[in-house]
């Protein structure tokens, strides 16, 4: 099963760029839960400032044999 996750949490309300330390911690947590990160894509506004990240994650379900 694949999921798309949107990450846009910032350090402060006036800080426009996402909190990369929190993103790295959440990626480590996702991977420890058995999910694999397939892709990480940055999303920018019209001024070229990164405002969020989109992650594609995959979890292979174990077959019931």
Q: What is the 3-state secondary structure (H, E, C) of the chain?
A: CEEEEEECCECCCCCCCECHHHHHHHHHHHHHCCCEEEEEEEEECCCCCEEEEEEEEECCCCCCC
pLDDT for the residue numbered 13: 77
pLDDT of residue 46: 93
**35 lies in some domain:** yes
Chain segment 20-63, per-residue pLDDT in tens = 999 999 999 999 999 999 999 999 999 999 999 999 999 876 64
Structural domain count of the chain: 1
Kindly report the pTM of this predicted structure: 0.81
- According to the model, what pLDDT value does residue 15 have? 76
Domain that holds residue 11: 2-58
Q: Tell me, what's the pLDDT at 17?
A: 86
pLDDT band at residue 64 under the 50/70/90 scheme: very low
- The answer as to whether 10 is a domain residue is yes
């Amino acid at each position: 099963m694949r999921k798309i996750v949107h990450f846009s949490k910032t350090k402060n309300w006036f800080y426009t760029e996402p909190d990369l330390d929190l993103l790295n911690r959440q990626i480590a947590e996702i991977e420890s839960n058995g999910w694999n990160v397939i892709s990480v894509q940055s999303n920018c506004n019209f001024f070229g400032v990164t405002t969020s990240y989109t992650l594609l994650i995959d979890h292979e379900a174990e077959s019931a044999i």
